[in-house]
Amino acid sequence: MSPGRSGRLVDAAVLAVAVVEGALTTISEADPHVVVPIAIALLALLARERLPLPVFLVTLPAVLFPGTIVPALVALYVVSSRYRDWWLLVGCGLVAATALVFPMSDFAPSIWDSYTLLGVVYAVMTALAPILLGQFLRSRRELALRLVEVEEAREHERRLDAEAILAGERNQLAREMHDVVSHQVSLIAVQAGALKVSTTDPNAKVAAENVRQLSVNTLDELRHMVNLLRASGTPATELTPQPTLTDLHRLVDNSAIDAHLVGNAPEDLEPPAQRAIYRTIQEALTNVRKHAPGASATIEISHDDDELTVTVTNTPPTRPHLALPSARHGLVGLRERAALLGGTLHTGPTPDGGFRLRLRLPVTSARTEPG
């Protein structure tokens, strides 16, 4: 029968009807032996889901002798709901109809008797009903499964369409980044190199070399970003190379400002925490170059059993700064990184006119769990 709570209730109701019919048949019959085929038929119904055909055959004696038909009809329904072979179903239906007609043949003087013909018609219709009901419910279940498959296929198709649209947007963004940003940064690097060769001022040479080196580093990172955008969404997507804490000294040395790194982070930090610390320091040094020319910076990394703290503090600027475009997206991204790791990011000016950026991360979420 059908699964679920409603299906169990229907099964219980059908078994109750079969038991009531068997009890009434036993009471109405004078022969006490009728209880044997009825009991066998009722007990066989308990195995109808596992052995539908044998159970159907076992219930037929109860139809022939005392005339108990409910167990046979229930078994015939189960056979019909399990099998699609019409030859099998027709054969079972004829056997059931014959068993239903057989008790009436003793009272009919001839096969052409009208009562016998009506009994044959009733028997055929009675046997046909559970077969049609079983086939109807089987077709309904199959249709429901097909509808689920169609919906899953449509959802998969919609997901593929969305991924294709995103892939196109990523490729377009990658092309724009490569064509516009890389072109301008390349010009900066070339002009910085030319300035280094042509100038005789030692300070200008150092500044030009710093500009050239920063431009080259920017082009390398841009190249990695473009590759990531183009590969995103494919099985071959690689997020390497990604910065780690071992790259901090190189970052500070190439920052083109007077920066000092104090302290060390734990060695067992998770890669996301290492990237968050690296990007936070990178963004802070970039802001110092943009908004505080001539300032020096101090990067302090400290930690205890509960919290890791990264503080970047810069002195006031010593030279006027250029009005560079800024939407503060960098700080927003840093706050999002910190929030994903369960930490916080605070920024603000210092009393002497400088600026301080402080990242706090919980050590329990930042450290690698022991295996």
Confidence of residue 300 (pLDDT cuts 50, 70, 90): very high
At 314 the pLDDT is 94
The pLDDT value recorded for residue 238 is 45
pTM beyond 0.85: no
How far is residue 84 CA from its own chain's centroid? 36
Which comes out higher in pLDDT, residue 110 or 148? 148
Residue 182, pLDDT score: 64
Report CA-CA distances (Å) from 203 to 125, 199, 316, 367. Answer: 107, 10, 21, 43
Cβ atoms of residues 314 and 348 within 8 Å: no
The whole-angstrom separation of Cα 143 and Cα 313 is 68
Q: 41 pLDDT exceeds 70?
A: yes
Single-letter amino acid, residue 70: V
DSSP 2-33: --HHHHHHHHHHHHHHHHHHHHHHHHH-S-GG
> What is the distance between the alpha carbons of residues 281 and 289, in angstroms, rounded to a whole number?
12
217, pLDDT greater than 80: no
The pLDDT tens digits of the residues spanning 129-175 come to: 888 888 898 888 889 888 988 888 888 888 888 878 877 777 777 66
Which band of pLDDT confidence, cut at 50, 70 and 90, is reported for residue 371?
very low
How many Å apart are CA 329 and CA 324, to the nearest integer? 14
Reported as a single tens digit per residue, the pLDDT across 78-90 is 888 888 888 988 8
| pLDDT of 348 strictly over 50 | yes
Domains and CATH numbers, the chain: 4-148 (no CATH), 244-371 (3.30.565.10)
Out of 20-24, 108-112, 249-253, least confident range:
108-112
Q: Which helix (H) or strand (E) holds 298?
A: strand 296-303
Q: Is the peptide bond before 3 cis (omega within 30 degrees of 0)?
A: no
Residue 280 exposure: Cα atoms within 13 Å on the Cβ side: 32
Please compute the mean of the pLDDT values over residues 273-300 and round it to a whole number.
Answer: 87
Q: Which of 91-105, 284-298, 328-342 is modeled with the greatest confidence?
A: 284-298
**Tens of pLDDT, residues 228-274:** 666 655 544 444 456 788 888 888 888 778 899 998 888 788 888 88
pLDDT band at residue 2, thresholds of 50, 70 and 90?
Answer: very low
Q: Tell me what pLDDT residue 355 has.
A: 93
Q: Mean pLDDT of all residues in the chain?
A: 79
Tell me if 222 sits within 8 A of 182, measured CB to CB. Answer: yes
- Which residue carries 């239903």 as its tokens? 100
Looking at the predicted structure, is the pLDDT value of residue 298 above 80? yes
Query: Is the alpha carbon torsion for 183, 188, 189, 190 positive or negative?
Result: positive
